[in-house]
Amino acid sequence: MNTEGFQRKLTAILSADVVGYSRLMGQDEEATVRTLNKYKEIIFGHIERHNGRLVDSPGDNILAEFTSVVDAVRCGVQIQEDLKEHNDELPPGKKMEFRIGINTGDIIQDGDRIYGDGVNVAARIESLADPGGICISRTAYDQVKSKINIDYEYLGEYEVKNIKEPVRVYRIRMKPEAATAIVKEKKAMLMTWQRIALSIVVIFVLAAVAIWYFSFRQPVISDIEEAPKTIAVLPFVDLSPDKDQEYFVDGLSEEILNSLTQIPDLTVIARTSSFSFKGTKKKVQEIANELGVENILEGSVRKAGTALRVTAQLVSGINGSHLWSKTYDRELKDIFAVQEDIAKAVADELKETFGIDRSLRQLGGTDNLEAYELYLIAKGQYNDLFSKTFFSFSDKKWYHALELIDAIIALDPEYALAWALKARIHFSISIFGPSNFAAAEQDAGLHAALRAVELEPNLPEAYVSLGIGRIARGELVEAELAYRKALELTTEPLSGKEYSIATFYLSVGNFKRANELFEEMRQNDPLNEEVRSNYFLSFVYLDDIKRAEEEYKRGKDLFGDQWSFGNLYITGLRLGKGGVVSPDAIVFSDSIFDAAKEHLNSPEEGLAELRRIYSNNGNLTSAKFIEISVWAAYFGDPEFAMDALKKAIRINATVLYAVWSPVTQETRHLPRFKEFIKEIGLVDYWNKFGWPDLCRPLGDGDFECD
């Protein structure tokens, strides 16, 4: 950021957000919003009374600044004490608890907004606070430790994303006596005779209550429903002698996670989010806070030949205490039983009915242990490759994954899950690989998906794969039907595993439906980068730019500068706003973007460079041709942009969503655009399933798009 002309100042920053907000929204959106608005009014009032300024309050987040860190801490304590009283009136599962982080540091002020490390540190240490609690930085602690009569607990040094030096963090002990000084300021001291009288009354009341409790009390039956249980499964640790079983161990962890999703009333965080903490040094409470869950399942696997030792332990995400642990010494042939035993033990500990249906858990599975073991490894390789290959394709690794999946199918030709995974691998190569691979890979993938459906007609994964294959070939009506079937059969909450369904609705112009699906996926898979980026993109397409900017900021806070798709989409949004974009606004980097960025102020030179790339690299991926289209539109050549769009979609129609980008609006007004949209069957799709917001029929087969 160019800070010339901006105001720098030293200030105290208070950052707050709701613990488990996604879970609350998933249970009852209207009640959650009402409670949030009520609590925000309370918080805003305290900020004003303590001489603070509200900076921003998007969603469940609140950011405020104070000239005095003493005022900020007093404000934080008052907020938590006040909200606790209100929460005590709510039933379990409906309570809304905030975490608060306070820091003092140098910031940059730009109008009403503030930026800088001081803000970032406050937001990061907020995540370390307990529900209803407050954490403060060392710089804040040094200024308030002798000025406010509050108990503090030193939590240690923490590495903070994008901050070079570790941050020392202190927790404020939120106890009735914790805010003695503040209480004294609010209330006058009782006179001595009043306190004596009050003490006598209290003694009599307590005595009466004790007599009733031990002599006459009847059992109380509560009609308040228990709060739904929430859990995240961390990837188990590989303790094998040669440390060479990582994919197997990851796969086993995921299968245990899948077993837990079959437990009624248990909310399980999706794999991508929980596995993002693989190898982390964070404490269980930190992870639980970030994911908004009450419980964490972790463990280890030691595999030597066919011998297995699986250790699992259930840990409270609230206080870090161990709720249950067990070690299983089994043979590989007993792996299915081990997975089920762990899931049932967790369910029993959480006091929920478990009733795991083996037929459901093994839908599309195999009884061949060798095939199953290889499948766990293949799935781990696929997940690893898929997360790293968006912008760097490696032929060798993908084809090695194909060889492995073919070996699995040779062991059990009726393994439906393996066929569905084979389809996904072929489709991934068709998307990320050079365009001369695309058609053959799509054909192979479609064959595999159809085989999976044939083997197990009730397997959701098979229909997700089939949907990808259909849209890749531009078969939009058939893709809709496949995805509808997948949603119909899916019994667990949607997550990043199904995100291709939501991107399909972006492609056909049904932005509201896409946004709804991404919202559900975001709640259940909050740390999935692809879900977050497409959720942000859906607001761009809905023309809700303010919300889009908010979601981009949240994504950046979570994933930092390496959020590839987020950076790509925000750059596209900025290119579509009109006028000359500054180099600082181009936050996405690859060969095409870097080449075009050099000609921001010289459109003709930029177009010449793009045409050179377009002509000399006919084997580019469909995604690269989309990038050329975006820049051609920005440089003012909608015809060239249309050429690149058509080429990209004909290679692989999964990139069809790019036609709705703000920067390509002029391209959508070309007669050629109408012809192409009809050619690929999009008008037929709209006539069957409904027209999108950006396009409308005009009669006689004609239509127009904004």
The string of DSSP letters for 123-176 reads HHHHTTSPTT-EEEEHHHHHHHTTTS---EEEEEEE--TT-SS-EEEEEE---T
The predicted model gives 516-522 an average pLDDT of 91
> Phi and psi (nearest 5°) for 78?
-65, -40
* 443 pLDDT above the threshold of 50: yes
Per-residue pLDDT tens digits for 337-396: 777 677 666 666 655 444 444 433 467 888 888 888 888 888 888 887 776 655 456 667
Q: What is the rounded CA–CA span in Å between residue 142 and residue 683?
A: 66
pLDDT of residue 190: 32
Q: How far is CA 27 from CA 22, 32, 186, 350, 364, in A?
A: 9, 8, 37, 19, 31
Burial class (CB in 10 A: 0-12, 13-18, 19+), 436: exposed
Higher pLDDT residue, 183 or 8?
Answer: 8
Highest mean pLDDT among 24-33, 244-253, 562-571: 562-571
The predicted model gives 19-35 an average pLDDT of 81
Burial class (CB in 10 A: 0-12, 13-18, 19+), 553: middle
Percentage of the chain exceeding pLDDT 70: 85
Tokens of 37: 């608005």
Q: What is the rounded CA–CA span in Å between residue 254 and residue 257?
A: 5
Q: What is the rounded CA–CA span in Å between residue 677 and residue 659?
A: 10
* 67 pLDDT above the threshold of 80: yes
Structural contact between residues 382 and 399, judged by C-beta atoms closer than 8 angstroms: no
Residues in Cβ contact with 281 at an 8 Å cutoff, skipping those fewer than 6 apart: 159
* 102 pLDDT above the threshold of 60: yes
Residue 704: strand pairing partners: 696
pLDDT of residue 72: 94
* 425 pLDDT above the threshold of 80: yes
* 314 pLDDT above the threshold of 90: no
pLDDT of residue 419: 96
pLDDT of residue 211: 33
Return the minimum-mean-pLDDT range out of 166-175, 424-433, 631-640, 697-706.
Answer: 166-175
Q: What is the rounded CA–CA span in Å between residue 442 and residue 94?
A: 47
Angle at 540 between CA 536 and CA 692, to 5 degrees: 115
Confidence of residue 606 (pLDDT cuts 50, 70, 90): very high
Q: At what angle do helices 603-616 and 622-634 cross, to 10 degrees?
A: 160
Average pLDDT, the chain: 82
Q: Where are the beta strands (DSSP E) in 478-551?
A: none
Question: Global pTM?
Answer: 0.63
Confidence of residue 675 (pLDDT cuts 50, 70, 90): very high
Q: What single DSSP character describes residue 53?
A: E
Highest mean pLDDT among 311-325, 373-387, 520-534, 648-662: 648-662
Q: What is the rounded CA–CA span in Å between residue 367 and residue 344?
A: 21
Is residue 329 helix, strand or coil?
strand
pLDDT of residue 253: 81
pLDDT of residue 24: 80
How many other CB atoms sit within 10 Å of the CB of residue 339? 22
pLDDT of residue 177: 37
pLDDT of residue 191: 35
Q: At what angle do helices 638-651 and 622-634 cross, to 10 degrees?
A: 170
* Among 56, 59, 55, 52, CA closest to 21: 59
Higher pLDDT residue, 310 or 358?
Answer: 310
> Phi and psi (nearest 5°) for 304?
-135, 105
Structural contact between residues 419 and 462, judged by C-beta atoms closer than 8 angstroms: yes
Tokens of 198: 């009050």
* 603 pLDDT above the threshold of 90: yes
pLDDT of residue 142: 86
Structural contact between residues 34 and 133, judged by C-beta atoms closer than 8 angstroms: no
Sign of the Cα pseudo-torsion (553, 559, 561, 562, in order): negative
The predicted model gives 183-193 an average pLDDT of 34
The predicted model gives 309-314 an average pLDDT of 84
pLDDT of residue 206: 32
Return the minimum-mean-pLDDT range out of 278-292, 315-329, 334-348, 504-518.
Answer: 334-348
Highest mean pLDDT among 218-222, 250-254, 274-278: 274-278
Instruction: Report the greatest alpha carbon distance in the chain.
Output: 94
* Among 31, 54, 59, CA closest to 555: 59
How many other CB atoms sit within 10 Å of the CB of residue 530? 21
pLDDT of residue 158: 72
The predicted model gives 647-667 an average pLDDT of 93
Sign of the Cα pseudo-torsion (673, 467, 27, 269, in order): negative
Q: What is the rounded CA–CA span in Å between residue 607 and residue 635?
A: 7
Q: How far is CA 204 from CA 209, 210, 385, in A?
A: 9, 10, 70
pLDDT of residue 264: 67
Highest mean pLDDT among 301-315, 406-420, 515-529: 406-420
pLDDT of residue 12: 94
Residue type present at position 439: A
- Report helix, strand and coil shares of the chain as percent, to nearest 5: 55, 15, 30
* 669 pLDDT above the threshold of 80: yes
* Among 566, 558, 550, 556, CA closest to 61: 550
Structural contact between residues 151 and 188, judged by C-beta atoms closer than 8 angstroms: no
pLDDT of residue 418: 94
pLDDT of residue 80: 93
* 44 pLDDT above the threshold of 60: yes
User: DSSP letters along 363-374, please?
Assistant: TT--S-HHHHHH
Residue type present at position 409: I
Residues in Cβ contact with 214 at an 8 Å cutoff, skipping those fewer than 6 apart: none
